[in-house]
Amino acid sequence: MNDKQLLRLAKKVANIAYEYASPKTGSDIWLQDRRKEEVNPFYHQTKEGLFLCLYYGQPGSIYTPWGEWNCWGSGSGDWTGAMPQFLQRLGAVEAESLKRTSMGEFGPVYAIMRVDEVSLPTPVMREHDEFLEYDDAKKAWKRAQ
């Protein structure tokens, strides 16, 4: 899978969340829309595939080869009913359990195995010493657009 295809699927994951968290759907769930933001190459670069990180029980960010994409911001409402279907559409497999620290609640983190009917490569995180340089990651993100 090339970079453009993978980024297109990451964007689809971001969009799917709004199928559940939009006033247009009649849902009481709301998410701040940050899909136009770029990745942060300092955090959570993948070698392969994509991960979904939840934040206080709602979609928080997507880990990509270029870094962490905070495509969703703060939100409100209860994801309890919508989350199982959202995760099912992603073929989500828990990769890291929920962590509660003095800084807040992070996770769980899920490996995204598919986006609806499109299979993705099994995601693998990069080690910090394998990270793309900041400027190189930003350029690669822009090229994949």
Residue 12 above 80 pLDDT? yes
- Band (pLDDT 50/70/90 cuts) for residue 22 is confident
The residues pairing with 72 across neighbouring beta strands, listed in sequence order, are: 33
Total domains present in the chain: 1
Residue 24 above 90 pLDDT? no
Q: 76 exposed, middle or buried (CB, 10 Å; 0-12, 13-18, 19+)?
A: exposed
pLDDT for res 56: 92
Domain that residue 103 falls in: 3-144
Residue 26 above 80 pLDDT? no
